């Protein structure tokens, strides 16, 4: 079964603990996708660095015509104090529209690391600021500890956790978001608050035992 399951919910609902246990029960790879990973940091090994390009300007060729800014779909190309184009790293998607459009060939793509992939104790850690493309291409079966809500959009099923009234409100909003994007949703109460790789027993806690039969329907 190549099922892709994302464990989502508000902070403090036990996402990491449940994701780790669920991956063991399903025999699936655990994926920790975060800006900075948390599990097994001392044991992990770097598997791969992922690069894309950020446009950089050759000022000797640039006419400061502003065409690169005009064609940028995310408005990532701005002007520096001299009027030369400057790519904002947080907005640039590396589509290369500006590089292609430049009549002088004044823009070149320079490599930048956008994500690093580590592995430790069978956990696949994808660490970076924008991981959506990597998750989209990742083959199942896997269980994702969804640090950001949008990462769960690449799962078949989103397991949304709550453990109090506040987190239930968050879970309901997440469920509507996922349903609108054609992701199946299970809202689950999780009373277990234990966390940490050294304190995670085998098996799901009793209140989550019914999750496995539900996942068999997908």
Tokens 């006419």 correspond to what residue? 63
Beginning with the edge strand found earlier in the chain, give each strand of the sheet holding 45-57 in spatial order: 45-57, 107-120, 123-128, 29-34, 142-146, 4-9, 157-162, 184-189
- CATH 3.40.50.300 maps onto the chain at 4-43+121-215
Cα 166 to chain centroid distance, Å, stands at: 24
Task: Supply the DSSP string of 151-209, one letter for each residue.
Answer: GGGGSSEEEEEESSHHHHHHHHHHHHHHHHTT-EEEEEE------SGGG--SS--GGGT
Q: Which of 3, 9, 2 is nearest to 186 (CA)?
A: 9
Asked whether the predicted pLDDT for residue 29 surpasses 50, the reply is yes
Integer Cα distance of 65 and 152 in angstroms: 41
Q: Which residue has the higher pLDDT, 22 or 201?
A: 22
For domain 4-43+121-215, give its CATH number from 1.10.3720.10, 3.20.20.80, 3.30.70.980, 3.40.50.300: 3.40.50.300
What are the tens digits of pLDDT across the range 57-87? 999 999 999 999 999 999 999 999 999 999 9
Q: How many CB atoms lie within 10 A of CB 71?
A: 15
Mean pLDDT, range 83-111, rounded to an integer: 89
Beta bridge partners of 53: 111
**What's the whole-number mean pLDDT along residues 159-184?**
92
In this prediction the pTM is 0.65
**Class of residue 65 by CB neighbours under 10 A (exposed 0-12, middle 13-18, buried 19+):** middle
HSE (side-chain half, CA atoms, 13 Å) at 129 = 10
For the chain, give every residue range classified as CATH 3.30.70.20. 50-113
Taken in order 19, 20, 23, 24, is the CA torsion positive or negative?
Answer: negative
CATH 3.40.30.10 assigned to domain 50-113? The reply is no
CB 171 within 8 A of CB 161: yes
Q: What percent of the chain has pLDDT over 70?
A: 86
């Amino acid at each position: 079964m190549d099922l892709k399951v994302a464990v989502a919910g508000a902070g403090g609902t036990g996402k990491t603990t449940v994701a780790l246990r669920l991956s063991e029960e399903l025999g699936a790879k655990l994926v920790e996708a975060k800006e900075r990973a948390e599990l097994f940091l001392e044991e992990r090994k770097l598997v791969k660095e992922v690069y894309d390009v950020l446009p950089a300007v050759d000022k000797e060729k640039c006419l400061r015509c502003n065409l690169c800014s005009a064609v940028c779909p995310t408005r990532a190309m701005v002007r520096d104090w001299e009027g030369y184009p400057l790519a904002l790293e947080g907005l640039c998607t590396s589509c290369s529209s500006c590089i292609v459009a430049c009549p002088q060939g004044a823009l070149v793509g320079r490599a930048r690391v956008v994500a690093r992939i580590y592995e430790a104790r069978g956990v696949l850690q994808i660490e970076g600021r924008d991981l959506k493309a990597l998750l989209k291409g990742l083959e199942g079966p896997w269980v994702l500890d969804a640090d950001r809500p949008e990462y769960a959009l690449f799962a078949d099923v989103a397991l949304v956790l709550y453990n109090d009234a506040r987190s239930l409100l968050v879970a309901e909003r997440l469920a509507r978001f996922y349903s609108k994007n054609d992701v199946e949703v299970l809202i689950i109460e999780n009373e277990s608050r234990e966390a940490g790789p050294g304190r995670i027993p085998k098996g799901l806690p009793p209140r989550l035992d019914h999750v496995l039969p539900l996942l068999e329907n997908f």
